[in-house]
């Protein structure tokens, strides 16, 4: 049973200098420093448990998210955790509908990222107090209780609460067998670690060979900066993995709509399953145009890692604008909003293939996609979860990958808790790492 009144909320700016090695580089983000606004919630409970939540960022923007977290803190302090989870929909709406902060959203951008960090911490604390990993907390939850966590405002034209209840009720059938399947075999993953745009051919080959040796069968390559370079790199990786293994491509929003169609027509020979973020993440009709144009080539469109909220996802689904839906555990308003998107995807019959990587995104989203399979989708067809082999060592309970699959976490919580020594070492700008780097960068 949840208990305790929230007595403290702290947030820190944690940054890792990944730009120095080209890790995470793509056509739009050439020098990312993988970072996180790291939130810790404490209560007056004698159990001493803390709720830990993060929002992933790429460096300088972290300080802005930290400011937004601090601006939202008054909505959280002194609240009873039992009251929050007992009417989670109202608490969610309180955070997302702040009469003044809403003006610089609403439910999008920096404020929504900050909301996700806070709510991720609340969910982590709830799961810890229940003694369950987050995915298991969700799987075991009564459908009505689960639905009470979701704000259905703005999406009832495509998904009512009663329709969502029917989906969850149908998901009860075979649920125990699917949970056993996850515990035994895990959830299938694909790797993005081999082919960041800033990697040399030598690095790409070495990482790809190592991944193949480790049993990976699904690979993603970054594209979009230079067509001839893309053709060369895609040929290199396709030759290495062979014709039977799955290849995806990711342009990270680089192209205009006609350019995306033309560019992908030239890359179609490498048989990509999808092109991810081919244009602006806000261009719903543009994605629909690209989807229609690429369908004869057998190339799907995937998007969602920078999708603002459930409303944009609703329209992408309505417009037949994507064939693979990519939720993000920090871009949306935490578990609450992701639940609504998982349910809409089920209604539209679109497979969910989450965005991960970054700082802690793999740790977070594994819970959501395992829950989705057990309780909502009931299918692994055309489904896989992204994996990036970076920075897991900084988490108390890092992801476990076996045979290219996510194994369900067993520790209580949302897997968001970072090692304190890592936080202190990488806290910006006074952590040990940045004290060494900043003078050199300033020179």
Task: Note whether 391 and 342 are same-domain residues.
Answer: yes
The answer to whether residue 406 sits within a structural domain is: yes
pLDDT of residue 213: 96
Say if residue 441's pLDDT is above 70: no
The answer to whether residue 74 sits within a structural domain is: yes
Q: Two tokens at 154?
A: 């703005």
Mean pLDDT of all residues in 47-66? 96
Reference 199, options 182, 221, 217, 180; nearest CA is 221
Summarised one tens digit per residue, pLDDT across range 17-49 is: 988 888 888 878 888 899 999 999 999 999 999
Question: Of all residues in the chain, what percent carry a pLDDT higher than 90?
Answer: 93
The answer to whether residue 95 sits within a structural domain is: yes
The answer to whether residue 37 sits within a structural domain is: yes
Lookup result for tokens 């965005």: 355
Mean pLDDT of all residues in 402-414? 98
Reference 194, options 221, 159, 234; nearest CA is 221
Q: Which of 113, 132, 151 is the last residue of a domain?
A: 132
pTM score > 0.95 for this model?
Answer: yes
Task: Note whether 174 and 117 are same-domain residues.
Answer: no
Contacts 24+ apart (CB under 8 A), 62-65: 62/13, 62/14, 62/15, 62/35, 62/36, 62/37, 62/428, 63/13, 63/428, 64/110, 65/37, 65/110, 65/113, 65/114, 65/117
Contact 201, 409 (CB under 8 A): no
Q: Which of 132, 151, 184 is the last residue of a domain?
A: 132
Task: Note whether 292 and 361 are same-domain residues.
Answer: yes
Task: Note whether 26 and 77 are same-domain residues.
Answer: yes
Mean pLDDT of all residues in 388-408? 97
The answer to whether residue 300 sits within a structural domain is: yes
Q: How many domains does the chain have?
A: 2
Task: Note whether 186 and 123 are same-domain residues.
Answer: no
Summarised one tens digit per residue, pLDDT across range 274-309 is: 999 999 999 999 999 999 999 999 999 999 999 999
Specify the CATH number for the domain of residue 226. 3.20.20.120
Say if residue 266's pLDDT is above 50: yes
Task: Note whether 180 and 290 are same-domain residues.
Answer: yes
The answer to whether residue 159 sits within a structural domain is: no
334: left (phi over 0), alpha (psi -120 to 50) or beta: left
Task: Note whether 125 and 194 are same-domain residues.
Answer: no
Dihedral, 191, 116, 364, 338 alpha carbons, nearest 10: -80
Q: Two tokens at 167?
A: 């989906």
Task: Note whether 401 and 354 are same-domain residues.
Answer: yes
pLDDT of residue 366: 98
Q: Two tokens at 197?
A: 């745009």
102/104 Cα distance (integer angstroms): 5
Task: Note whether 247 and 374 are same-domain residues.
Answer: yes
Q: Two tokens at 11?
A: 């947030």
Task: Note whether 264 and 308 are same-domain residues.
Answer: yes
Mean pLDDT of all residues in 338-359? 97
pLDDT band at 440 (very low <50, low <70, confident <90, very high): low
Summarised one tens digit per residue, pLDDT across range 104-163 is: 989 999 999 999 999 999 999 999 999 999 999 999 999 999 999 999 999 999 999 999
Specify the CATH number for the domain of residue 101. 3.30.390.10
Q: Hey, which residues are catalytic here? A: 222, 355
Contact 284, 319 (CB under 8 A): yes
pLDDT band at 443 (very low <50, low <70, confident <90, very high): very low
- The domain in which residue 23 lies consists of 5-132
The helix (H) or strand (E) run that includes residue 92 is: helix 88-96
What are the beta bridge partners of residue 220? 248
Contact 154, 165 (CB under 8 A): no
Say if residue 245's pLDDT is above 90: yes
The helix (H) or strand (E) run that includes residue 411 is: none
What are the beta bridge partners of residue 303? 325
pLDDT of residue 27: 76
Which residues, 6+ apart, have CB-to-CB distance to 298 below 8 Å?
268, 271
Mean pLDDT of all residues in 231-235? 96
pLDDT band at 442 (very low <50, low <70, confident <90, very high): very low
Question: Of all residues in the chain, what percent carry a pLDDT higher than 70?
Answer: 99
Task: Note whether 275 and 362 are same-domain residues.
Answer: yes
The answer to whether residue 47 sits within a structural domain is: yes
Say if residue 387's pLDDT is above 80: yes
Task: Note whether 42 and 173 are same-domain residues.
Answer: no
Mean pLDDT of all residues in 336-352? 98
| DSSP reduced 3-state for 440 | helix
Q: In whole numbers, what is the pLDDT of the chain averaged over residues?
A: 96
pLDDT of residue 88: 98
The answer to whether residue 82 sits within a structural domain is: yes
């Amino acid at each position: 049973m949840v208990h305790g009144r929230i007595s403290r909320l702290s947030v820190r700016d944690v940054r890792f200098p990944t730009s120095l090695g080209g890790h995470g580089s793509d056509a739009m983000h050439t020098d990312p420093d993988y970072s996180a606004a790291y939130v810790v919630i404490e209560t007056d409970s004698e159990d001493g448990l803390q709720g830990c939540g993060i929002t992933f960022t790429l460096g300088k923007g972290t300080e802005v998210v930290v400011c937004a977290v601090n601006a939202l803190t008054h909505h959280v302090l002194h609240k009873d955790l039992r009251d929050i989870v007992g009417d989670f929909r109202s608490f969610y709406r309180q955070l997302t509908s702040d009469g003044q902060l809403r003006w610089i959203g609403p439910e999008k951008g920096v404020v929504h990222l900050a909301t996700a960090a806070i709510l991720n911490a609340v969910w982590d604390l709830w799961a810890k107090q229940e003694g369950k990993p987050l995915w298991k907390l969700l799987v075991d939850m009564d459908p009505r209780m689960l639905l009470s966590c979701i704000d259905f405002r703005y999406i009832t034209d495509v998904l009512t609460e009663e329709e969502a209840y029917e989906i969850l009720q149908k998901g009860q059938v075979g649920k125990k067998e699917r949970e056993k399947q996850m515990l035994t075999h895990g959830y299938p993953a694909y790797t993005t670690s081999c082919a960041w745009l800033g990697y040399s051919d030598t690095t790409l080959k070495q990482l790809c060979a190592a991944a193949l040796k480790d049993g990976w069968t699904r690979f993603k390559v970054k594209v979009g900066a230079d067509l001839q370079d893309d053709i060369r790199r895609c040929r290199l990786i396709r030759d290495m993995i062979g014709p039977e293994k799955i290849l995806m491509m990711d342009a990270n929003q680089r192209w205009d709509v006609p350019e995306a169609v033309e560019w992908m027509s030239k890359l179609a020979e490498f048989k990509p399953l999808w092109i991810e973020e081919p244009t602006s993440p806000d261009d719903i009709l543009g994605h629909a145009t690209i989807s229609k144009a690429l369908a004869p080539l057998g190339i799907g469109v995937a998007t969602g890692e920078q999708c603002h909220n459930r409303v944009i996802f609703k329209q992408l689904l309505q417009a037949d604008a994507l064939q693979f839906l990519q939720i993000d555990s920090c871009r949306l308003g935490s578990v609450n909003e992701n639940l609504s998107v998982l349910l809409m995807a089920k209604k539209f019959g679109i497979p969910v293939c989450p965005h991960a990587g970054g700082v802690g995104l793999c740790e977070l989203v594994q819970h959501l996609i395992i829950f989705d399979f057990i309780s909502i989708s009931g299918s692994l067809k055309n489904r896989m979860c992204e994996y990036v082999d970076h920075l897991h060592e900084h988490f108390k309970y890092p992801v476990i990958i076996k045979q290219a699959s996510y194994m369900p976490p067993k520790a209580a919580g949302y897997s968001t808790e970072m090692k304190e020594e890592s936080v202190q070492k990488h806290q910006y700008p006074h952590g040990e790492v940045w004290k060494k780097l900043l003078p050199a960068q300033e020179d």
